[in-house]
Every structure is written in structure tokens, then in C-alpha cells.
Chain A
Amino acid sequence: MAGTGVIMLLFLVAHMLGNLKIFFGAEEFNGYAAWLRTIGEPALHNSWYLYIQRTGLVVAVVLHGVAAYQLSKRDIRARPAKYEHKRQRASYATRTMRWGGVILGLYIVWHILDLTTLTVNPLGKEHHPYENIVADFRIWWVNVVYIVAMLALGLHIRHGFWSAAQTLGAVNKRRDRALKITANVLAASLTAGFLVVPVAVMTGLVD
């Protein structure tokens, strides 16, 4: 869980920062997207790096899901009888890891169909990511789906980052607080960084 989580987290940081280029206009943003395809050239053919990265990420998502499924199964088996006296346990982020993860999984599928394969994108113009994104966020329910998914992402990372540090043995008493703060800052800045794009389209800042 920790290893695959960290891989995906690193990708998300790069993804979020890349998204912000949208504020420099269509030309620069589309140019950035085109440049992504040239990474690794001339050693690699055009887009090869992108496909290597995509394969790696899909493997990470699948392994993350499989591990979560196995862990959940084991955990449910270890606690067959519930307590009669119910009590609210742990923080919201902690309690929503499983279903929040499922929501994120579904969102990733939709997100790829929307902006990678362009299957469900309202515009669907190839090599014009800027225009596709703007077309997306002009639709209210796309915004809702996106905002809900990004909030789920923030919660997932808030618990997930610190949790991964714990699993990998990076936590100790002295570092505990710093790691928790890092988790919160990471979660908040990723969520905010992703959300400024639809907000900018909605407010007309980007069009």
C-alpha cells in the first residue's frame, strides 16, 4: 500500500504543477502537453516515455487496489463480532480510506476516458487539451464530480501519506508531528492546486 501510494503521490504532485500552466494561456499549455510526449527523445521514440509512465501508474493503481482488498478482507475476518455499544472511531479521513479509495478509482477511469482518450469529453479535440478542459468545466456536473473527487483525494492523502511513513518505518516520536503537518500541507495544497483550474474556468479567468 505504502510503496504504490508513494509512486502515485509523486505523480500527482507533478500533475498538479503541470496543470497550473493553464494560467499562461492555451498556447503555452498545449505546448507543455506536446512537450510531455517528447520526454526521453531521442533515446526513446515520441510518446514512448509517456506510455511507460502510464503503464507504471496503472500497475500501481491496480496493485494498490488489490492490496487494499486483501487487507480489508483480512481485517474484517479478524473482527467478526461487532460491539453492541457503538462509538465514533478515528478521524474522518481515516474512516473513509476504503470508500474514498473506491471513489477515486472510479474517478480515475472517468478522468482517463474524459481527458486522455477523449471518449466522453464534450469537445474531444485531439492535441488541444486546453480547449478540452475549458469545455469540460463549463458543464456544472463535471465540476461537481471533479470537486468531490479532489476533496476525496485530499482526505485520502491526509491519512495515506502519514500512514505510508508509518508503514515504511519513517515515523518516530520526534518526527511524528512534522510528518502529520506535511501530510496535511500536501493534502491541502494538492486539493487546492487541482481545484483552482475548474474554479478559474467557472469564474471566467480561463476560457
Chain B
Amino acid sequence: MNLTLRIWRQQSSEEEGAMVTYRVEDISPDMSFLEMLDVLNEELILAGDEPVAFDHDCREGICGACGMVINGQAHGPERTTTCQLHMRHFKDGDTVDVEPWRAAAFPVVKDLVVDRTAFDRVIQAGGYISVPTGSAPEAHATAVPKEAADFAFEHAECIGCGACVAACPNGSAMLFTSAKVNHLNVLPQGQPERETRVLDMVAAMDDQGFGGCTNTGECATACPKGIPLPSIAAMNREYLRALRKEKSRSKG
């Protein structure tokens, strides 16, 4: 199949960018979107042009590196990561727009590559549990109720790709932060930091310049891992609970 691509090209965070039009030909419908970009880049390199910079790593949908907005949708028309998106979802002769994630907290580094350090800051603020070092603990030493395990697994699926922020008209990171908070807060291993985790991670999220949530639901629609919108309510519940606890603690 032959496609017209309009791709955001930007030399660096300081320079202005613009959409540039390219043609690619003889694309196999079995290629992934990234493989299609590889084909384009090979041609660009042969022609002596600068290849399009994009992030990628695992190419199997688990690392979350390959974020880009395709035809206005984070990771394109299918609910999956860009590396797992196949060209069969496009038609011969289509024009495809490819842009980087857009959010104040995710500045463009080059072309389609954005800096997602802001997510790391949120994780650093509370996305951990405290365990004694030494030999690995016995796996069944701590019993986890089935419901809690399921809930934790559902949220542990978040790969931190940033599609939620990219899709949100407010550039909000509530879905990401809620996935991380819920994952650990529901587990027995996460209890010692249960209150500080949600308070600190939300504070870090606000610090990084993410927008506020207006419940548009765009994030959950875009999430390749299917983190549902009520997860944000679950985090709000944790947050309100932590505030109450803090208050009663400070009262002594």
C-alpha cells in the first residue's frame, strides 16, 4: 500500500517545528506502524536526509516508549501501542498525520520524541514499597485477597506510555497516577506508605505542570492497557481518606 505521511519535524526543543509531508510506497499491511516508519527512515538516510526521531524499545507493547499521536489519536486508531499497531488498519492512499505527545509536562526533544521525565518524578514521589533487603521473601508469606490481587494487577498493567496525558484535552496525568497509586495502595505490602503515597504522588503530579481532571474520559479511551476511568475515582477516594487520616493524626 502507498501512503502520504504528514509528520511533525522539530530539530530541538528550542526550535520551531512543522508538519512535513512524505510518501511511502509498497508498505505491507502486516508491518507495524514503527516498521513503516523504519522504511521511511531508510529512504531518508539513503537520500541524505535526517531520519525521523521516534522513541521505541521493546516493540512488543510492554515498555511504553513508542508514544505518538496518529490521526489525532494517541497510539492511533486501535487500542494498543504504536509498535503493536499494524498497517492493515489503514487504507491504501490514506494520508496519516503523526505528531508527538502534546503537554506542557512533556516537552518535545526532537521530532516525535518527548521528555517523559515528569512521570519518573511522580513515581519517585511514592511509587515504591519499603522492604528489608536480603534474601527474597517467601512468596506466600503475605496472603493477598483475590479481589485485591486482581485490582492491583489491573493497575500494574500501566506501562507509563503517556497516552492518557496526550489524549486529555487538559494534559492531565490523573489516570497514570491513579494506576500507580491503586496498584500499591490495595496490596498489604503497600500499607505502610498508603497515605503518604497518594498525597506525595498527587503533589508531584501537580508540581510537574500536568492539568486538572475534568472527567472527559479521553484518557481511559486512549489507554492501550485499558486502565478504566473509575480508577481516578478510586485514587480520589484514597486521597480524601489520607487527608482525613492526616488531620486526625495532627490533632494527636
B104 and A84 contact, CB distance less than 8 A: no
Which listed residue (B71, B214, B232) contacts A75, Cβ 8 A? B214
Q: What are the interface flags for A15-55 relative to B under an 8 Å C-beta threshold, 1 for contact and 0 otherwise?
A: 00000000000000000000000000000000000000000
Q: Does B36 have its Cβ within 8 Å of any Cβ on chain A?
A: no
Given A75-B171, A87-B72, A168-B240, also A80-B214 (CB < 8 A): no
Q: How far is the CA of A166 from the CA of B168 in the complex (A)?
A: 16
User: How far is B215's CA from A168's CA once the two chains are assembled, in angstroms?
Assistant: 12
0 or 1 for each of B47-85: is its CB under 8 Å from A? (1 = yes): 000000000000000000000010111000000000000
The reply to whether A166 and B214 form a contact with Cβ atoms under 8 Å apart is: no
Q: Does A94 contact B (CB under 8 A)?
A: yes
Bound-complex Cα distance A167 to B211 (A): 15
Residues of A in contact with B, size category? 20 to 34
Residues of A within 8 A of B239 (CB): 169
Given A78-B170, A167-B236, A169-B237, A89 contacting B218 (CB threshold 8 A): yes
Residue of A85, A163, A169, A170 touching B214 (CB-CB under 8 A): A163
Stretch at the interface among A132-140, A147-155, A171-179: A171-179
State whether A79 touches B236 (Cβ < 8 A).
Answer: no
Are B233 and A75 neighbours in the complex by a CB distance under 8 Å? no
Which residues on the B side are within 8 Å of A162 (C-beta)? 215
Chain B CB within 8 A of A159 CB: yes
> Which candidate, B25-33, B95-103, B138-146, B185-193, is the interface stretch facing chain A?
B95-103
Specify which of B214, B229, B232 lies most central, judged by the most chain A CB atoms within 10 Å of its CB: B214
CB-CB nearest in chain B for A81: B102
Contact B99 A75 (CB under 8 A): no
Query: Distance in Å from the Cβ of A108 to the closest Cβ of chain B?
Result: 21
Q: Is A201 close to B, CB under 8 A? A: no
- Structural contact, A166 and B102, CB atoms closer than 8 A: no
| Pair B234/A169 contact, Cβ less than 8 Å | yes
Nearest B residue (CB) for A171: B233
A113 at the interface (CB under 8 A from B): no
CB-contact partner of B233 in A77, A90, A172, under 8 A? A172
Check if A90 sits within 8 Å of B216, measured CB to CB. yes
Chain A 60-95 residues near chain B, CB threshold 8 A: 71, 74-87, 89-90, 94
Contacts of B121 in A (CB 8 A): none
Asked whether B172 is an interface residue with its Cβ less than 8 Å from the other chain, the reply is yes
CB < 8 Å neighbour of A169 from B8, B19, B233: B233
Is the beta-carbon distance between B170 and A79 smaller than 8 angstroms? yes
Judging by beta carbons under 8 Å apart, are B228 and A173 in contact? Answer: yes
Within 8 A of A (CB), among B206-225: 209-218
Q: Does B105 contact A (CB under 8 A)?
A: yes
Interface hub of A82, A163, A168, A171 (most chain B Cβ within 10 A) = A171
Q: Which of B73, B171, B236, B238 contacts A78 (CB 8 A)?
A: B171
The reply to whether B171 and A166 contact each other, CB–CB distance below 8 Å, is no
The winner among A79, A97, A165 for most chain B CB atoms within 10 A is: A79
User: Which chain B residues border A81 with CB–CB below 8 Å?
Assistant: 102
Interface residues of A (CB under 8 A from B): 71, 74-87, 89-90, 94, 97, 159, 162-163, 165-173, 176
25 residue pairs bridging A and B, Cβ less than 8 Å apart: A71-B212, A71-B214, A74-B212, A75-B170, A76-B211, A77-B211, A78-B104, A78-B209, A79-B103, A82-B102, A83-B72, A83-B99, A85-B97, A87-B71, A87-B73, A89-B218, A94-B214, A166-B233, A167-B213, A167-B233, A168-B236, A169-B236, A169-B239, A170-B233, A172-B233
Instruction: Write the residues of chain B forming the contact surface with A, with a CB cutoff of 8 angstroms.
Output: 6, 8, 19, 69, 71-73, 97, 99, 102-105, 168-172, 209-218, 228-230, 232-234, 236-240
